[in-house]
A and B are shown apart, each in its own frame.
Chain A
Amino acid sequence: MRIHDVAVIGAGVVGCAVARELAAYELDVALVEARDDVGDATSKANTAILHTGFDAAPGTLESRLVPRGYALLSRYAGETGIAVEPTGAVLVAWDDDQLAALPGLRDKAVANGYHAAELVGPDFVYGTVPALGPGALGGMTVPGESIIDPWSTTLAFAYDALARGVGLRLGTRVEAVESGPEFTVLRTSRGDIAARWVVNAAGLGADVIDGHFGHRRFTVTARRGELIVFDTAARPLAPKIVLPVPTSRGKGVLISPTVFGNVMLGPTSEDLPDRTDTSTSEAGIASLLEKGRRIMPSLLEEEITTSYAGLRAATEHGDYVVDVDAGKRYACLGGIRSTGLTASMSIAEHLRDLLDTAGLPLKPRAGLPPPVRVPVLGEASARPYQNDELIRRDAEYGRIVCFCEKVTRGEVRDAFAAPIPPRDLNGLRRRTRATLGRCQGFFCGAEVGRLFDEATGTGD
């Protein structure tokens, strides 16, 4: 049996970042994922904010890794073409409690090493986001908060990992673990995988994997966050991220632009017994609409393009659970709850250092391939349909199939030719934006479905 140096369980944004990082060394890495695609769980359904970490609990691991992750991912996005927009954020206080909480939040930001936050009055708040509803009393600016394309982030890590020699095993669920003196055997739905070291990046399933290694350190609770996405016509209403001011009476919802040109309202926060339940709820959507109506009434006049729910892997601890058990050659990345997209690269870097200390031999790989380039999906740069030169070279980029999102046949073709082709329509959506727009398939659903069937040889 082939014995890998490292097996990473879970190909979410964290697992992919870890696999990519470790593959920068002379290591044979396997990335094992239960689902048929990378980034198909929590990493696909979040708020897509690249956080500065200004509001983390000072002293926690999270408070260290979020700013570091912000710096690493910002740079990486520049190298790979992942869409990032440095919009900045403004926290808005709607009542006296919230107003009173602002100075404390600024002090917390400073304690976290973030010095750019500033308290501002209501005039400034309305000057920045004129569409806000009446009654804002003041606010705090966080100029560094940015928005990012979460789908391309996971894909870029995974593509880089593959280019660096990682073996990706999709559709492979780890069901049991057998630890031995030299290596560990993962019993999976597709046979055994042996590795000297194992990294648990299983997100909502991280406590179960931890249990397989004999630990009882935490229990994951699925904390659902529902979100409403508004039409791109709404984008001028939200030039910045509008954040709520958390108080003892709870955390409100945010309004954020997206790099795809939409505006997002959410998320809710609700603990669920079922870790697989990503449905939206009447109560959740109704509460979002009610809160949104207060924050930005004109947003509610706009068309809703979609709504979805993501599940945070919450634990009883207020921090990430990152630990290396050197004896079992096992590393756990648990409780990466609501900042894991931002911190993915710093978590990977931190883990590498822990593994180094624990005795994993790290010899830099010579001749690493350059970072991949991901397709241009963000609105801030010229998309293929706007690129005359590109279309003249290849007419397929001039054939728009998804009219709302302006996705061309060329981009759909490229998605199938990529190192990890989509296995279903949702995978195609995350790689191209096809059918994600306002018509939700009225015009192009059938045509995109046909292209999918053609490329994958499915359908009738």
Chain B
Amino acid sequence: METMTPAVAVVGAGPAGLTAAAELARLVDGEVLVLERERVPGGIPRHSDHTGYGLRDLRRVMTGPGYARLLHRRAERAGARILTEATVTRVSDGRELEVTTPSGLVRVEPHALVLATGARERPRPARLITGDRGAGIYTTGHLQNLVHLHHGRPGKRAVIVGAELVSWSAVLTLREAGCRTVLMTTSQPVPESYAAFHLPGRALLRVPVATGTRLVSVEGDAGRVSAVVVEQVGTGRRRRVECDTVVLTGDWIPDHELARGTGLDLDPRSRGPVVDTALRTSRPGVFAAGNLIHPVDTADIAALDGRHVAAAVQRWLGDERMGEVAFDIEVDAPLRWVAPSVVRRGDPPPARGRLLLWTDTLVRSPVVRVHQAGRPLARRRLPWPASPGRVFRVPWSLLARARPDAGPVRLSLAR
């Protein structure tokens, strides 16, 4: 078996991994090796064939595939080595990787490891949608792979589960493939996607959105979906909607198999690895970035994580002395998770000076309250909503008065 000993190994060539690699290749002596299991680098944007990528990291707006190519080129130009068709199948209890490639098994022994394996949408069984089995049921990832990378065809009439940003991305993909979206369903009382996108989206695409509903079951005919049953959550009233395609959007789970397998501390609520503001995991020399730690944010934020983690990796390779944990950050319902959730003495603020949070219910004009051991630290009304289906950002400055060793800091929302 071949052995490689790069300075840094990055697992995953999505926006987070490629940006980290481009940055690291400039910052560190020695090889920066990116391992990507797909044949083409770029992660999810490869098959997300619409505009809306690159805003915050590249200060321009481009399509997903264009963005993927650009990030790939930049990483290579910076000198990173990108190995495709290289699937990391195991991380040792240190930092060593087992990798399957077409030329054989490879063992990678890096000085530092960055996990940037992304997130995926929960499939039908995990959502407990019962009924018949049958072709025509997709997640958005599957659908976009099918349409944009393989030029395959879904059906003619689709029902979409979810009404967040990614759900509208599915509408666009379906439309391009000649499939009409007859209904979007969401359990939320209001659609959860960006208002800016949502309003023209609705007007332009003319898709009815059934709020406060859930998809109960699927009916099939001759091996293909023929209808779904949708229930109004409050009243229990049910109706049947004929369709030949169902797209399950959102409901993200990090692709945490490696992180979990190697025994990193995981956040039980996001299910991604616990990280500090420098994006260190619970194991020295192992870092995490992108949607693996915040399922799910936009690609530019994942990319900026990559930039942020690169600086931390550089410090680690330069024999930094890592500070002790000063405090943990916790959240109260309806907030579900926060990332990063550990703060160490002497560390920089988180990427972009923001904490990333997830909410389970809509709070239009949220007042964020910060407490430490029962002591109020801050209270601020934010000008943006806390909205399910997308990350809620809280400025780091709200934690300015938090003290080391004074217990966990809690964030909650007052209405």
A-side interface residues toward B, CB under 8 Å?
A: 228-229, 233, 278-282, 284-285, 303-308, 385-386, 388, 391-392, 395-396, 398-400, 403-404, 406, 424-425, 438-443, 445-447, 449-450, 459-460
Contacts and interface: CB of A to CB of B under 8 A. Distances in A.
Contact of B104 (A281, A392, A445): A392
Most buried by A among B125, B150, B152, B223: B125
Contact of A305 (B104, B120, B125, B257): B125
Given A441-B123, A442-B139, A450-B152, 14 more contacts: A233-B261, A279-B131, A281-B130, A304-B128, A385-B89, A391-B102, A398-B101, A399-B85, A439-B123, A443-B145, A446-B145, A446-B146, A459-B152, A460-B153
Contacts of B153: 460
B149 interface: yes
Nearest to A393: B104
Interface in B241-287: 253, 257, 260-261
A443 B120 contact: yes
A404 B1 CA distance: 23
A445 B145 contact: yes
B126 A303 contact: yes
Main secondary structure of the interface of B (DSSP, over half): mixed
Contact of A400 (B87, B142, B146): B87
Contacts of A306: 125
Nearest to B253: A303
Contacts of A307: 125, 128, 130
Contact of B131 (A229, A280, A303, A445): A280
Contact of A304 (B100, B126, B132, B261): B126
B133 interface: yes
Contacts of A406: 87, 89, 100
Interface in B52-100: 85, 87, 89, 100
Contacts of A438: 123, 257
A424 B240 CA distance: 28
A385 B104 contact: no
Given A280-B131, A398-B101, A398-B102, A388 B145 contact: no
Contacts of B141: 439, 442-443
B156 interface: no
B216 interface: yes
A306 B124 CA distance: 8
A282 B142 contact: no
A27 to B, nearest CB: 36
Contacts of B121: 442
B155 to A, nearest CB: 14
A425 B1 CA distance: 34
Contacts of B149: 446-447
B102 A403 contact: no
Contacts of B261: 233
Interface in B110-133: 120-126, 128, 130-133
